[in-house]
Amino acid sequence: MAEITTLGFRPGRSLFHRLDARFKLLCLAVIGIAVLQCGIWGLAGLTVPGLAGIFRLGIPLRSMLKELRYLAVLLFLVFAARALSTPGSVLFSAAGISVTREGVAAGVLVCWRLAGVVLAGIIFIAATRPSEIRGAVIRLLAPIPFIPEQQAGTMISLLVRFIPMILNQARETADAQRARCIECRKNPVFRVATLCIALLRRIFEDAERLVVAMEARCYTEDRTGPRFSATSRDWTALIVTAAACAVAAALPF
């Protein structure tokens, strides 16, 4: 399978690509945990190298922002919920609805954390083949008892492969609804519900066809995965990432 990411570009061979997939997955887990614990200064310290990694991988920033526009809507809803529900000093009030200073600060912090996790995930997916992700998940889960590592690896690999397809289907469904003048409906809830129902139906239909195709080809989970060989570069990347995340999480505010 060609190297296709959620942003529709073919990445080059950078340092991120040459790292062992197991260590990249561990770094992603460490960054995710740290981002959820960081304050403003810690998030700023982790966001700068994240943006540098996006540019180093050659991901078009405009395309990335366009693909993540639905995430922006979700973040806005999260921010609005925090700003309106958190008690504190009222910034302004209208029609019985109050926005507090503490709510705005909490909303910004939560949205920043979620965006940081998404940013780290984009870098990881852009720099790692789906087959390597599957192999890394299997290797890391193999020592843990009572966990079907083969099934978990297959599920995550299929999820990564399905992300570009889901984004394309969402774009095609939205275009088809605009061609049918869906924007003339004033109710935004109706428009979103119509889009989600049509999109979910297409996703489930594609998933069913994929299952039939895999069964027809006698797919089994007992497959030969990629070979991994850790080097000093991989250990250095993991140690540096863990140290930077520890420092970011320990920063006040």
Domain housing 52: 15-229+243-250
Predicted pLDDT of residue 115? 92
User: Domain count of the chain?
Assistant: 1
Task: Judge whether 5 lies within some domain.
Answer: no
Predicted pLDDT of residue 73? 83
Predicted pLDDT of residue 13? 60
Task: Judge whether 10 lies within some domain.
Answer: no
Interior CA angle at 247 toward 245 and 249, to 5°?
Answer: 65
Give the β-pairing of 90-94 and 97-100.
Answer: antiparallel
Q: Bin 146: left if φ > 0, else alpha if -120 < ψ < 50, else beta.
A: left
Task: Judge whether 204 lies within some domain.
Answer: yes
The residues, ordered by sequence, that sit 6+ positions from 194 with a Cβ below 8 Å of its Cβ are 177, 182
Task: Judge whether 94 lies within some domain.
Answer: yes
Task: Judge whether 73 lies within some domain.
Answer: yes
Task: Judge whether 235 lies within some domain.
Answer: no
Task: Judge whether 165 lies within some domain.
Answer: yes
Predicted pLDDT of residue 5? 42
Task: Judge whether 236 lies within some domain.
Answer: no
DSSP annotation of 180 reads: T
Cα–Cα distance, 19 to 238 (Å, whole number) = 10
Cα–Cα distance, 242 to 46 (Å, whole number) = 12
Cβ burial, residue 53 (10 Å; 0-12/13-18/19+): buried
**Amino acid code (one letter) for 204:** F
Predicted pLDDT of residue 168? 83
Predicted pLDDT of residue 7? 46
Successive 10-residue mean pLDDT values, the chain, 253 residues? 42 73 93 91 91 85 79 88 86 81 90 92 88 88 86 84 82 85 78 85 89 86 79 93 93 78
This model's pTM is above 0.85: no
